[in-house]
Amino acid sequence: MATSDLPPRLGSLSFHGPLSEARAERIVARLAAASPATVLDIGCGWGELLLRVLESVPGSTGVGLDINAEDLARGRDLAKGRGLAGRVEFLEESALGTAHGPVDAVLCLGAGQALCDPGQPYDPAVVLRELRRLVRPGGRVVLGEGFWDRAPTDDELAAMWPGAQASDHLRLGPLVDLAVESGFRPAWIESASREEWEEFESGYRHDTELWLAANPDHPLAAGTRERVDRQRSSWADGYRGVLGITYLTLVPVTPSAG
């Protein structure tokens, strides 16, 4: 089956998460102010934010890690088109225990699971310890991490991802406290707005929905329709207005000399 016959994937998204252009610009500006020479993007996807940091800091270099070959190929194409191909590597490999550090800036946007043992429950404390290991003194970490904006009801949990539990996420305050306990100071705390969530959720499915409307009898339509309907329902009936994502700009605390 030709690639052109397949349902499109994520073509309407600049970022693989609820992140607006305005917020991304502010995050990049804060990172660029620290003049990072080396940047690591964990679970980078196509690395849009990574590329924007490199564009804002002349001479800087970056590495993006992901296990999705299609996203990585998109990232390489974007880098080439912006004249950044010689300054960035997109590597198809796991970030678990990665040796690509320490660096001056680490990005980890909604990809903390890449730093955790897949055989163990997700633990943001593990994520934060790994990020602390990967950043140099005086560096910066931008962590995009889910949190409960309010306690989910049993019905909402049942509509979310399979096996969703209230213990899957922390509230924002305890999450920030955990970052402090892990050796960081939270230089900036912000969270995605409802509009950013709606732009992301709609953009995530937009191209595929158009494809389904135009190709209702395609051999792949039934499975694609089931998947997309399930994704939409998990948001609209489940985590909409309940699950937040915070973008924490973290600065590592300099160890005491004593």
Amino acid identity, position 232: R
pLDDT confidence of residue 127 = 98
Q: Encode pLDDT of 153-162 as tens digits.
A: 999 999 999 9
Q: Encode pLDDT of 110-119 as tens digits.
A: 999 999 999 9
pLDDT confidence of residue 6 = 73
pLDDT confidence of residue 4 = 54
Regarding beta strands 61-66 and 103-109, do their DSSP bridges make them parallel or antiparallel, or are they unpaired? unpaired
- Phi/psi for 33 (5° steps) reads -65, -25
Dihedral (CA of 166, 171, 174, 177) sign: positive
Residues of the chain falling short of pLDDT 50: 3
pLDDT confidence of residue 257 = 65
SS3 content of the chain, % helix, strand, coil (to 5): 45, 20, 35
Q: Which domains are present in the chain? A: 11-151+164-193+242-252 (3.40.50.150)
Q: How far apart are CA 36 and CA 136, in angstroms?
A: 10
